[in-house]
Structure 1
């Protein structure tokens, strides 16, 4: 009768990372004063620096204090999983409810070894009559542990939060690659210049929100409904194409003029020297604009057609340049090259058509309704 009228207090020591189980080999839940005491002694012998053993001793002491006040008490150790996360919280909560259902407490007290288990406390409070929480931290170490936890959270944000990881990991990777390449090919002066230039450019972009302005401008040019992956692809193609065009033009102009050379010869030599890279740059630039979203068979075929047709013109245009630059150039070579170019253009278009049909038959491309491959 006395036990029925007494308040029933359940003291649970929560170990979400399951140090007790992984280090002692004991299975949780561990219920009963004697069992918890033996487990704590075993844990402290295995690892004297383990904080969970202090929490287990503290839970036994709290249970004894409540017993002296007339409570009918039960003490237990609850374990999660060594890798933590939601599964650890779910396992620990299942064990807590199992112990609570067998004891039917009127009050529940939670004892932990610090600040790692605060996420599970609201769940316990919602399902059980949680009366108090006791955090056992070794003296002289509370501020150190709190600082460690805060530092760990911010460090995790650098690797997981999209707002920070692209600057921390992306910028860090760029610096590492640049320094590595310059270390192999360059001098320490060039390394320092490249390092601080990258840092300065990143600070400048972040300070004036240049990355957002560039992103907004690209979305305005290419359309706002394009996914980031397609937008990045179109941007890289556009940048590459424009760079090749500018490089070819600069390379052709920098060669200068030969003495006594006619204007037609100058144009021809310019075309012969630059047409390969120039045409490829033009094709890449047009390709960046021809890629549509959502991707369809027709848009892919149009992009490939633009690429192969422009590149196929290179032999004939190069031959035209050589013919203009060389007065003794034989016209039959130009005729043969023109015929070869026509055959090359035809073959390239046939290859594009066959490629699209093969991809369609293999169901690699999902063709939108109404899209035809001619």
Structure 2
């Protein structure tokens, strides 16, 4: 295989021939990374030859070893295998970066020749480039035969990935599983006419969650702040209940557009308010546990939200009764509560600055 390597530049440096496995296929077969040195690399390849002999990762490991053998007599070269995480995304990149830092610390390398076998692994190149000078890059492409038998083997390999790897199974098994369950429940309850919207909702939410990496964000939240995950779930439940309550209210009312709209908004408002308040309450609780003085910021926000919800609810109630002019009592309540919140915020800000200094 052709490789663009500036060998003459590499000879004067401490260089590592690095195989990158960002989705940690090595970990799944029991190979602990980072793998450093020819002996350990050979043992890892032997294990891979038994577990994944027809996988492109195995071929890439062999290419890395052969490349190392070609260069080791011509300069100061070492062989290294590093991996990320099977969860993919940021977590995989962070783990790979951490392993690379460990390798650099232990070997004192200054440059690298990178070997990889998939577009996903290519995400490691900028990470390596930010820490080392890359003097060569080799992508290993395994040629596939076009026979029917080989095609079935290839399909079977990808199906195995879909079933065994969580980052694929969540999409290809989890989402269809939810759709089948919803379909069965809807048919049992005689709600087949609502099946298509429900299926589209599930698919749309799945695309939204995966597209914006919301699942990764929730996972990071869970690892760093269990409290915020719990209040986030409660907030979502309250939001869903509020939407349902608004829908039920709208279906049961008849009258002018303004009356129906204000009634729906008033029915949803308590749940929407709780949905927001509990998020700030969770943050306040987290700050209180950590003895963070800024906990009062969250308490001020909660107070402001509650006052705002009360004012909006009163205004909507007046609109339902056909009163479109803001009453003096409502105006005075808004003015006084706003002044109290603002003055409290200013006073606590001064106290916080005084304590910090």
Normalised to the residue count of structure 1, the TM-score between the two structures is: 0.44
Greater Cα radius of gyration, structure 1 or 2: 1
